[in-house]
Amino acid sequence: MADPELEELEIELLLEAVHRRYGFDFRGYAPASLKRRLQRRLRAEKLASVSALQDRVLHDPPTMERLLLDLSVNVTAMFRDPSFYAALRAKVVPLLRTYPFTRIWIAGCSTGEEVYSLAILLVEEGIYERTRIYATDINEVVLEQAKAGVFPLDKMQEYTENYARAGGDRSFSEYYLAGYEGALFARSLLDNVVFAQHNLVSDRAFNEFNLILCRNVMIYFDRALQNRVHELFYESLETFGVLGLGHKEAMSFTPHEQSYDELDAGERLYKKVR
């Protein structure tokens, strides 16, 4: 077994090297999950130590691309937490209806499951036409996957159940075509979606939004980095805009806790009021 203190030092040096060489800053990530992901990459590269990985990452950009995927990809599902989407329909859509045009930011959209889920919901509520969804992620590879809109067929049963529990009353299969490569989702769901690379750690605010969803993305960050991202979201929300977090992400002890009212505390929906 590796010496834990030595490994900690090696990880620190690797993250510093990745930041200086490639500009990706993982130094504020929560250590335990980061370490598990690095260990996975070590096994896949058949390397014995984090230092050896650092050597390869610095001299071989394709290794960096693989590492970036390991460090940045967040696993999710369509209509994950159906009750959250039900609350979006019941409590957020009525707010969005009051605007002639709404801008929504899905921060850390990964492979796009949440983007398609939200687009479907907005189509069904009749407000998709006057919405623009900005879907961003640090990683261009996952953005390409999200744009392609092909998801594994064996997930469709789970997603169909989630969709129904989230208040969907159509046949979920209306939204995709089953093919060899998987379930291809309707291109029209992307009509009002803009995909863009954006790094929550280092990039600035780029627009003002009526709704920001960032679910189960910040759980990989340490508290200090979470606070910085909360700052970014606060700056990016219009007054009375809504922030949606994951079920187990608390707003308490964040810098702008006092600036939000609970729209639905259990579903982690917060309205910016000041």
Encode 48-74 in three state secondary structure.
Answer: CCHHHHHHHHHHCHHHHHHHHHHHHCC
List the one residue from 53, 143, 190, 218 that touches another protein (CB under 8 A).
218
Which is nearer to another protein, 85 or 128 (by Cβ)?
A: 85
Tell me which stretch binds another protein (CB under 8 A): 11-19, 34-42, 54-62, 195-203. 34-42
Q: What residues contact 143, with CB distance under 8 A and at least 6 apart?
A: 109, 135, 137, 195, 196, 197
User: Using the rule CB under 8 A, is 49 a contact of another protein?
Assistant: no
Binding segment toward another protein, per CB under 8 A, in 30-38, 48-56, 146-154, 193-201: 30-38
Determine which residue in the list 54, 117, 131, 216 makes contact with another protein, applying CB under 8 A: 216
Q: Which is nearer to another protein, 54 or 162 (CB)?
A: 162
The reply to whether 152 sits near another protein by the rule CB under 8 A is no
The secondary structure of residue 113, as a DSSP letter, is H
Listed ranges 28-36, 122-130, 190-198, 199-207: which one lies at the site for another protein (CB under 8 A): 28-36
**Residues near 106 by Cβ (< 8 Å), separated by ≥ 6?**
114, 115, 118, 133, 134, 135, 136, 212, 213, 214
Which one of 23, 32, 62, 154 is in contact with another protein (CB under 8 A)? 32
* Nearest approach, Cβ of residue 218 and another protein (Å): 8
Check binding of 224 to another protein (CB under 8 A). Answer: no
DSSP state of 126: T
Nearest to 148 by CA among 118, 114, 186, 109: 186
User: Stretches 10-18, 50-58, 201-209, 216-224: which one binds another protein (CB under 8 A)?
Assistant: 216-224
Cα–Cα distance measured from residue 217 to residue 76, given in angstroms and rounded to the nearest whole number: 10
The mark string for 54-93 relative to another protein (x by CB under 8 A, - otherwise) is --------------------xxx---x-------------
3-class DSSP string for 215-238: CCCHHHECHHHHHHHHHHHHHHEE
Query: What is the DSSP secondary structure assignment for residue 208, as one 8-state letter?
Result: -
If one asks whether residue 117 binds another protein (CB under 8 A), the answer comes out as: no
Judged by beta carbon, residue 149 or residue 246, the one nearer another protein is 246
Structure tokens that stand for 141 in this block: 């590879």
> Per CB under 8 A, does 262 bind another protein?
no
| Token pair of 52 as six digits | 């050896």
Q: The dihedral of CA 40, 41, 42, 47: what is its sign?
A: positive
Interacting residue ranges for another protein, rule: CB under 8 A: 1, 4, 30-33, 35-37, 74-76, 80, 216, 218-220, 222-223, 226, 246-250
